[in-house]
Amino acid sequence: MADVTLFTPGRIDGFDTKNRFVMAPMTRSRALPGGVPSELAIEYYAQRASAGLIITEGVAPCAAGIGYARTPTAETRDQMAAWKKIVDAVHAKGGRMFMQFMHVGRIGNGENRYTKEPLISASAVRAAGQMWTDSKGMQDLDAPRALETSEIPGVIAQYAAATRNALDAGFDGVELHSASGYLPMQFLSSNTNLRTDAYGGSAQNRIRFVVEALEAMAKAAGTPSKVGIKISPAMPFNDIHDADPVETYTTLVHAIGSMGLAYLHVLKTTIPNTFELLRPLFKGPFLAGGGFSKESGNTALAAGTADFIVFGKLFTSNPDLPARFEQSAALVDPDPSTFYSPGPKGYVDYSALQST
Ligand SMILES: Cc1cc2nc3c(=O)[nH]c(=O)nc-3n(C[C@H](O)[C@H](O)[C@H](O)COP(=O)(O)O)c2cc1C
């Protein structure tokens, strides 16, 4: 059989993808007050519909999941009506789209939240660091409170409700953001999970929140095959640390490997050979991300290291990235100064090849 390349069609949850490009989930901070995605997002995502699969920016499953300025939610009728227009526009251009659920847990500041509830986390461990707020500039991250054991099913139910909302709006599936130091990773990691109940202590206990969230999302979707997960083992972002990430993540992937999930999405971090370590434990499509180029993506696909390659920054400034790679055209460098700035600049004003 010929080598798989970025341009080989693929398959996720019973639908064919036109290629092996996945657009990474990327927070772009253009949402309106109250967690409603802006109209600009319709154009932004539609411009990128030539990816085999688009994963949305991190979307809070509920108001308590918001931490950053101008980020969207998937809870209310207004929010979902706006999301429906976005996913319809991507489908109209032949694209596929999963919604990523990002509950920040302890990573937030009250200035950015439209709920007055305090931040929640696995334990009351404040993250060192600051974040941008539109009203007061850079601010320290707030201190979180620890979830009571009896509250955990309610938080998991919010992921399930958001799953129903996303699928009702027409999304092809949903992704649990269990990476980058947000709520699920706060349960997984030993410096943020000091719990002594069934959700803390051993690796088996620390993975429980993630496993139960995935089960609830699968039940809400009616099938696990519409539910994916993203992990970033040993990523230090957001002041997170685990004493034994190899043990934690092999335990997790082993536990979810046969659930029939849509995919496992792994962001390469500091564990040597992360992909090679985890891939054999997961039965299903394997998405690898983190610093890939055309060459390294094709090499990983040909070697069987991954089934799909996830591209982040390059998609911000090259909306037609697959065509650019195919034609070996010049790439436009990403511009970090507009990653999170409000408005159209650096968001919807990058041209596709045919119109340059
Ligand atoms: C502007 C920006 C925003 C991001 N926001 C998110 C996010 O909301 N959720 C997430 O899982 N990862 C997020 N990431 C990480 C990307 O999904 C991806 O894992 C990372 O950029 C590495 O891929 P790359 O080297 O191809 O950019 C973000 C990255 C960037 C550059």
**How far apart are alpha carbons 120 and 85 in whole angstroms?**
31
Atom 29 of ligand 1: nearest residue by CA position: 26
**How far apart are alpha carbons 242 and 250 in whole angstroms?**
13
Indicate if the pLDDT at residue 183 is higher than 70: yes
Q: Give the pLDDT confidence of 300-351 residue by residue, as tens digits.
A: 999 999 999 999 999 999 999 999 999 999 999 999 999 999 999 999 999 9
**How far apart are alpha carbons 145 and 105 in whole angstroms?**
9
Taking phi over 0 as left and psi of -120 to 50 as alpha, with beta for the rest, 129 belongs to left
Atom 1 of ligand 1: nearest residue by CA position: 339
The residue type of 225 is S
**How far apart are alpha carbons 176 and 342 in whole angstroms?**
26
Atom 15 of ligand 1: nearest residue by CA position: 26
Three-state DSSP class for residue 165:
helix
Using the atom order of ligand 1, give the atom closest to the CA of residue 310: 26
Mean pLDDT of the chain: 97
The residue type of 232 is S
Label residue 190 by pLDDT band (50, 70, 90). very high
Q: Is the pTM of this model over 0.95?
A: yes
pLDDT at 356: 47
Taking phi over 0 as left and psi of -120 to 50 as alpha, with beta for the rest, 264 belongs to beta
Q: Give the pLDDT confidence of 24-68 residue by residue, as tens digits.
A: 999 999 999 999 999 999 999 999 999 999 999 999 999 999 999
- For ligand 1, the distance from its centroid to the CA atom of residue 23, given in whole angstroms, is 9
Label residue 270 by pLDDT band (50, 70, 90). confident
**How far apart are alpha carbons 43 and 56 in whole angstroms?**
13
Label residue 8 by pLDDT band (50, 70, 90). very high
Q: Ligand 1: does its nearest atom lie under 6 Å from the Cβ of 334?
A: no
Q: Give the pLDDT confidence of 232-259 residue by residue, as tens digits.
A: 999 999 999 999 999 999 999 999 999 9
The answer to whether the beta carbons of residues 310 and 287 sit under 8 Å apart is: yes
Atom 11 of ligand 1: nearest residue by CA position: 25
Q: Ligand 1: does its nearest atom lie under 6 Å from the Cβ of 64?
A: no
Element (H, E) at 44: helix 40-47
**How far apart are alpha carbons 24 and 27 in whole angstroms?**
10
Indicate if the pLDDT at residue 355 is higher than 70: no
The residue type of 117 is E
Q: Ligand 1: does its nearest atom lie under 6 Å from the Cβ of 185?
A: no
Label residue 23 by pLDDT band (50, 70, 90). very high
**Residues 114-135, mean pLDDT to the nearest whole number:** 96
Q: Give the pLDDT confidence of 206-234 residue by residue, as tens digits.
A: 999 999 999 999 999 999 999 999 999 99
Label residue 1 by pLDDT band (50, 70, 90). low
pLDDT at 228: 98
Annotated catalytic, 68?
no
**How far apart are alpha carbons 128 and 241 in whole angstroms?**
12
**Residues 126-140, mean pLDDT to the nearest whole number:** 98
Using the atom order of ligand 1, give the atom closest to the CA of residue 336: 1
Candidates 129, 95, 102; CA nearest to 31 is: 102
Beta pairing partners, 245? none
**How far apart are alpha carbons 300 and 283 in whole angstroms?**
18
Q: Ligand 1: does its nearest atom lie under 6 Å from the Cβ of 103?
A: no
**How far apart are alpha carbons 192 and 203 in whole angstroms?**
13
The residue type of 169 is A
Q: Ligand 1: does its nearest atom lie under 6 Å from the Cβ of 12?
A: no
DSSP string for 74-105: S-SHHHHHHHHHHHHHHHHTT--EEEEE---T
